[in-house]
Structure 1
């Protein structure tokens, strides 16, 4: 009896060992990642004067950095709000990934808004813990502004505004000492000056053409006398302009000359207009008239609109110096412009009315912002840019089931539920017997609140027809069938 028990225990142990070996040899399909994040907070000075202050920055702790893991084929993605939230025991499917650590947001510009980013590839292997080291550096551009003592004494008031392509207009007041962080690329510089005698004006004297991530630009403003003894403004921001500053005439004659001005119709700058998707605004007359007595040198249109960007609309464009391809996109989507054919023109006109019929809500993004700034040949700009803000309201648009039509009939009446401002924007079509799309002519027979009875033309047939209605080139559609 004793011997029998021993054999039984031995068999049980053998079975357990066998199962353990099988489990060890089999594939689980998962691995894990051990992450280490570090940050190099140094920036790259672009002038001798920025070298000493290059490391004076408010440094976020790496524990505040967020993490994101994305597979190389895009099929897997996971994010963690902070490094502290990441559990090294988390099971990750086997595969190739890119892991990134970041702090801030490249699209959020402003004072004390640094964006740090680091990323590295990682291979997750079955039942293994892969180590990942990520070093983060500044991924946007640091900008500070400095005024000389002579400059401060000469002007009664002053400020400087910077603007990155497609980004915000960020103003440095006369007392501002903080750094602003903006997107890499072109950065324009505007300065507003008020003399002791009360004369004031705003100039756009310079632009940083290719600011790179991690660079620190210190914009310095000073004054000096030219050979004729007249005071001029000097601006420097890199090694070249530090040696040979950009010089601007700030004589009373130039400063009192009229700057480019705007006349607005149908909206107030910065005050949102509400409009249904794909529909005209209540005031079918939304435009801007521009006057530049000093001759237009540039007119910048900056756009923030997810729906327009999805159709190829540029985030930022100079209406005077755009390409024909860019001009065609603006025309196709409804923007009408006049007077921007060449440098030196003294008047311009921008009509946004038709553009409203292209605006829609995408991914819950219902805001559209258009910012316009103009510069004349003296470098003078209007005191502040003009902003047209549009908030889209969701549109109700459905085709209800029509009554049956007689065989051989060449028309049908379609009930359309539509709460837009213009039913004529709706276009109807169907596929004929050969499978070709045929556009229908349509006539509104009656309307009761938002329900329209629309008569459309169709070919005579004894088969069901699928009817499609579309707005703005098919960007919003509804369908029904007649039989």
Structure 2
């Protein structure tokens, strides 16, 4: 009966919250009069309630010729012409037109259900992929229409969907270059040419989550007419970013001038209410690292996937498969930590007897160290052969011989973390699997998965009383832990003695087992989760409780398998009354 007592406590808390909310002055969701009741399953969407917000920017810069870049203000963003589409969950389009046309309708009658309101600043099908002064804003919001009720759209925030680029030439460099000097910025097949005194911003359509801009300066020195050419790549550029490129003199002597580009990145993250009273957005400055972070590559292999060792990969006692690693660290290697672990206890004991630390730093291991000989046999460089290096190559084939020939079945991991003198770190894990009874196995897939049946688990959804929230967790290597965190804007589950975070694979409290297990919410507990390769469960029993609390409710699911791999997904449910 404890579970019912706790649910009653939560519902009592909900009633108290709603009573307090009832003391406030509320505005009805309709304008002049209540809508006519309909016997069919229809409701109303108040289209005039849409509030458009755009993340805009403003900047004023002084150029070498003393001209100024014109500031972009909120008044220059014409939201009346923005394109709005309202589509049902089945893909049916209920409205498609401009923001002005939608507002003029006041309200529209729609079948009961969930709808997606999407907004675009213009039709990209007729706009060049790269163009000057061509920002493209997009935004969306989910709304729910209930029977006989009037729902409001509310605020839709539009953010920059392309990449903004401006190019400046520093004053001292501009004086040395001819007037026809120009800078070409390219992203894949897109390119824009910036004249020496160009003041406009260029906008590029991203082709991936992370993009690379190519910059090329061509011109001549004003005094000698000697040709000038310089190029550089700007990596990791994303939609919504403003990359301010300034060409500068990096070095100057009697032998000539060398160039460089200073990159300033602005991320637009503050909302501007169009025609409102909020102040103009000031961009947030973040400096790009001057030196690239370290990288770890296993030549001709994918480090993200486990690798199965087989007898065919050995010539007698020696491994013939390439385990060559290539490390690049432009900022000089300061630390190279390695942690070797295994599910094979005999192998772990052998490492201990060989005095191999867990973990160890190759930069700190010298020839006198007790583990030096073992690590060299594995193929690791040590000491000064690692510390301070910028380009390092080694082969770990030697480490595979004892794994396969001496110790056999199990999973072996080599977790490597390289840190440079700029304190930038990169981590990668080599995972080796051995099953000597299955020599045809090849690479074992790592298909960790958390799915919500019938829904995209990465999206937020409006919660309805009949919603089914059925989850399936998949882990071929077996589940080590399955943590559930309940994160809510308005509901505090601890009020009823339920923890906000719990691990379904490791619950010992009898009361909590009763609350979460078959006697309560019906979650699988302990052995029904631990080491299982597939676990289905449902969050549906929480629906009736959550419906009493307005706001966004999240169920964050973090699953780790027996190989140490982790996946995190979050069910996002919004209650709006």
Range of TM-score over shorter length: 0.3 to 0.5
TM-score, L = length of structure 1: 0.40
The structure with the larger Rg is 1
